[in-house]
Amino acid sequence: MPENVVVDIYGKFACFTRSNAKVERVSYDAPTPSACRGALEAIYFKPGEFHYQIKKIEIMKPIRYINIKRNEVNKKAVLDGEPIIVEESRTQRNNIYLRDVYYRIHAEIIKEKGCEERVTQQSLIDQFNRRVKSGKCFHQPYLGLRECMAFFTPPDPDIHPISESEDLGIMLYDNFDIKTHTPLDTAKGEGNVYRTFYHPYICNGVINVPDFASREVWKEDV
């Protein structure tokens, strides 16, 4: 059976926004599977050929926070509406980020039914590993928010998970069905949101992530 892909991802800041804190953002204590999937897809992804199933998230540095005040606007831009006058709509919001983060992500690459027979799971794994080793990506990965730039590297054997354990409570799993690849176009109202949640635990720095189809993942159509 082919092994999982493993990659180290790190950055100065991260914000995995809690679903109940959308205005003044407050980060979860650890990455969501959705954020991890997005980071992997930035490195290597072919829609309709395969998808990632996050299996395990290792936290390699202590969980620390930083409060950042940002200048934002209090209106949402509309394509066919009046332009926003930034100076008249300015507002300041406090956001709680994570700082100096380092994660090790383990994931399974799952072939789609429509994928060509000549493409094997092992070939997809090898291609992913080559891209990680050479530092290639389709776009710069990020940690929750695009301004939280992420860097990636093959797993460093000298870095180990933290020894802390924590009940993270109810946490977002994903905003989409990971097996479908319909892009979300909010301007046209196209694409489906499929929100899912789960109850993760950090055990000695490790979060074991249940499969998307598992009964441990609570699904909600919105």
Which CATH number belongs to the domain containing residue 82 in this structure? 3.30.70.2660
Share of the chain above pLDDT 70, in %: 90
Q: Which two tokens stand for residue 52?
A: 């990632």
pLDDT score recorded for residue 13: 97
CA distance 73 to 82: 14
Are 39 and 29 in contact by the 8 Å Cβ rule? The answer is: no
In 3-state terms the chain splits into helix, strand, coil percentages (rounded to 5) of 15, 40, 50
The domain of 116 spans 5-221
pLDDT score recorded for residue 190: 56
Mean pLDDT of 67-95: 75
Q: Which residues contact 39 (CB under 8 A, 6 or more apart)?
A: 9, 105, 141, 142, 143, 150, 152
Q: What mean pLDDT is reported for the chain?
A: 88
pLDDT over threshold 80, residue 74: no
Q: Which two tokens stand for residue 158?
A: 């000298």
Mean pLDDT of 4-26: 92
Q: Which two tokens stand for residue 122?
A: 């092992």
Are 62 and 164 in contact by the 8 Å Cβ rule? The answer is: yes
At residue 111 the predicted structure's pLDDT band, cuts being 50, 70 and 90, is confident
**171 CB neighbour count, 10 Å cutoff:** 19
CA distance 52 to 200: 19
pLDDT score recorded for residue 92: 78
Q: Which residues contact 55 (CB under 8 A, 6 or more apart)?
A: 4, 106, 107, 108, 208, 209
pLDDT score recorded for residue 222: 46
Angle at 16 (CA atoms; ends 124, 95), nearest 5 degrees: 150
CA distance 4 to 89: 47
pLDDT score recorded for residue 144: 95
Alpha helices per DSSP H over the chain: 33-43, 121-134
At residue 62 the predicted structure's pLDDT band, cuts being 50, 70 and 90, is very high
pLDDT in tens, 164-221: 999 999 999 998 888 776 665 655 555 677 889 999 999 999 999 999 999 999 987 5
CA distance 218 to 222: 13
Domains: count for the chain: 1
Nearest of 141, 142, 144, 106 to residue 125 by alpha carbon: 106
The residue type found at 200 is P
Mean pLDDT of 113-118: 77
pLDDT score recorded for residue 34: 95
Q: Which two tokens stand for residue 112?
A: 């789609």
